[in-house]
Structure 1
Amino acid sequence: MKKALTAIAAAAFAFAGLSATASAENEKFVLISHAPDSDSWWNVIKNAIKVAGDQMGAEVEYRNPPTGDLADMARIVEQAAATNPDGIIVTIADFNVLKGPITDAVDKGIPVITINSGTQEQSEELGALMHVGQPEYDAGFGAGKRAAAAGAKSFVCVNHYITNPASVERCRGFADALGVELGSQMIDSGQDPSEVKNKVSAYLNSNPDVDAVLTLGPNSAHPTLAALRDAGLAGEMMFGTFDLSSEIAEAIKAGEINFAIDQQPYLQGYLPVVILTNYARYSVLPSGHINSGPGFITKDNIAQVEKYAGEYR
């Protein structure tokens, strides 16, 4: 299966070089994410849709709820569908909240590809063409196996977007790999850096036996790293994080973060635009979902990817 999906991705890249010159129809696509304006991780996806749009000769608009409010996101999906675009790319941040607007778009005949958040099963239930993303539970479980191999027995999962059910799956997978209950080991940190840092510091002070930390992205990783540095614990306990940034890359090189889980967001933005363009022009479509991750970035391979952090990785 992995080889098949790799071949699909390779074919999409190959098609990218042909489609724009073969038939530039100026298709209009909309990508709608759940991310607030403050989440810089999505800059990679914004760059990806720009590159893909330029290559395909298509117009791709990025839209999101400024504060991350999911009810607002649902309205944005409805508004996008009302413009009858040639395709919608959307995250399944909360299946129950977004089910109505997404299925309405599908029922109107608008091709939909889901990305990033959500599961392949949810994507199918919504009637989407496919899902391009990372199985969140599996990614968390893989991270937990690495922590367990290093001897970790207890942990804290710093969840900065707990309203997204997929985030909990990341923490749950980590806990299951360690063979422990998630319970209170997941904290709702919020997104304000000072608040995240204070909550992590308070948790570590109250739970001195914690020997592993999992953060769910740069928004929580950066202030958590600051908290560990202040406590003299940076580099002293297992620290894994989802996603990559220049600061995370530097911390990996310094031995303060053991690994970053790379879901390759560039592919989550780029591939749907290429696929939807070819679907609109030639009615061709890959036959399955595409797993963009997880991959693990460590000291051993950070040099290969850090120069692209924030733009392509």
Structure 2
Amino acid sequence: MKRLFKTVAGAAVGVALATTGMVATAQAAGEKYILVSHAPDSDSWWNTIKNGIALAGEQMGVEVEYRNPPTGDLADMARIIEQAAASNPNGIITTLADFDVLSGPIRAAVDQGINVIIMNSGTPEQTREVGALMFVGQPEYDAGYAAGLRAKGDGIESFVCVNHVISNTVVAERCRGFADGLGIDLGSSMIDSGQDPSEIKNRVLAYLSANPDTDAVLTLGPTSADPTILALEENGMAGDIYFGTFDLGDNIVKGIKSGVIQWGIDQQPFLQAYLPVVILTNYDRYGVLPGNNINSGPGFVTIDALEKVEEFAGEYR
């Protein structure tokens, strides 16, 4: 299945790159696309998203803009989507981190006649419900399930999932999928860590102290992975406890290289930002649209596959 995901994403990139040669003759004046994410300013993982839309804008010859709620407040994000729609761009690319909070503004943008693509957070089903064109991202439950199967094959029977975005119910599917892959109930194995690094570290230390027989730690991105690395270094478990994580970042890459982290799951955020700009531009110009949603991940990154990741970590990976 992983090979299929890579093939689909790779084919989409090939199509995208092939179209860039037509920009000079096809570009219309004032083409603008706005990407709205749920990420707070403090989450460096989204730098890759910013680089993705910037490169796509440059290659396609269109104006692109990245907007987000500085603190990650979803009500603020809903207002940002409304403001983006009011500026009447050619298209909006947005995450669907909370369906109840964000579906209304997204539907309103679609009803206004703005083409919308959902990326990163959400599901294909939710994408159809709000009237968006398609979803570009990682099927979170499937990714978690694949990770659980891998961990089960490595002898893991229990774990703690460090969830720093508990309000994002779709992301929590990573934890549920992991538990199902192991063949156990999620139960109390998922902790709400919050996003403060010191608090995350303390909650991981407290959980492992209260549950010393825990076989593995699963984190959901650099925000939770980086403080967890510090926690394991403090309690002496770094390199001894099985550690898997979603997403990549400088410290995660270093952790994989040193053997503290067994693997990272790459959802390829670059593609999640790059492809929607290319797709929307070609849809506006030529009326062409891929017939299916695009799975940008999952892909496992281990110590054996770090060369390109190290080269572009935090930039395009």
Report the TM range for the smaller structure's normalisation. over 0.9
Q: Which runs of 5+ in 2 are unaligned?
A: none
Identity across matched positions, percent: 65
Partner of 2:52: 48
Q: Cα distance, 1:6 vs. partner?
A: 4.0
TM-score, L = length of structure 2: 0.96
Q: Secondary structure at the match of 2:14?
A: helix
Task: State the distance in 2 between where 1:272 and 1:198 align.
Answer: 39
Give 4+ residue runs of structure 1 displaced > 3 Å after superposition. Answer: 1-6
Q: Secondary structure at the match of 2:188?
A: helix
Does the CA contact (< 8 Å) of 1:37 and 1:66 recur in 2?
A: yes
Partner of 2:284: 280
- Alpha-carbon spacing, 1:170–1:4, altered in 2? closer, same or farther (3 Å): closer
Q: Cα distance, 1:258 vs. partner?
A: 0.3
Partner of 2:273: 269
Could you tell me which amino acid in structure 1 is paired with residue 24 of structure 2?
T
Partner of 1:21: 24
Does the CA contact (< 8 Å) of 2:8 and 2:295 recur in 1?
A: no
- Alpha-carbon spacing, 1:4–1:248, altered in 2? closer, same or farther (3 Å): closer
Does the CA contact (< 8 Å) of 2:8 and 2:294 recur in 1?
A: no
Indicate whether 1:191 and 2:195 are aligned: yes
Could you tell me which amino acid in structure 2 is paired with residue 299 of structure 1?
I
Structural RMSD (CA): 1.2
Partner of 1:80: 84
Q: Secondary structure at the match of 1:300?
A: helix
Q: Which runs of 5+ in 1 are unaligned?
A: none
Deviates more, 1:119-128 or 1:203-212: 119-128
Q: Cα distance, 1:9 vs. partner?
A: 3.3
Partner of 2:306: 302
Q: Secondary structure at the match of 1:296?
A: strand
Q: Secondary structure at the match of 1:156?
A: strand
Partner of 1:33: 37
Q: Cα distance, 1:281 vs. partner?
A: 1.2
Count residues in correspondence: 312
Does the CA contact (< 8 Å) of 1:28 and 1:58 recur in 2?
A: yes
TM-score, L = length of structure 1: 0.97
From 171, 174, 192, the equivalent of 2:178 is 174
Could you tell me which amino acid in structure 2 is paired with residue 244 of structure 1?
L
Q: Cα distance, 1:124 vs. partner?
A: 1.1
Indicate whether 1:253 and 2:257 are aligned: yes
CA deviation digits over 1:82-140, x for unaligned, max 9? 11110000001011111111011111110000000011111111111110000000111
Partner of 2:14: 10
Q: Secondary structure at the match of 1:184?
A: coil
Task: State the distance in 1 between where 2:25 and 2:164 align.
Answer: 44
Does the CA contact (< 8 Å) of 2:49 and 2:270 recur in 1?
A: yes
Q: Secondary structure at the match of 2:303?
A: coil
Task: State the distance in 1 between where 2:66 and 2:40 align.
Answer: 12
Could you tell me which amino acid in structure 1 is paired with residue 280 of structure 2?
L
Task: State the distance in 2 between where 1:147 and 1:202 align.
Answer: 23
Could you tell me which amino acid in structure 2 is paired with residue 295 of structure 1?
G
Could you tell me which amino acid in structure 1 is paired with residue 79 of structure 2?
R
CA deviation digits over 1:24-80, x for unaligned, max 9? 223111100000110000000001111111111111111111111111111111111
From 201, 212, 218, the equivalent of 1:208 is 212
From 68, 71, 76, the equivalent of 1:67 is 71
Indicate whether 1:154 and 2:158 are aligned: yes
Task: State the distance in 2 between where 1:162 and 1:282 align.
Answer: 40
Could you tell me which amino acid in structure 2 is paired with residue 56 of structure 1?
M
Partner of 2:295: 291
Partner of 1:239: 243
Partner of 1:129: 133
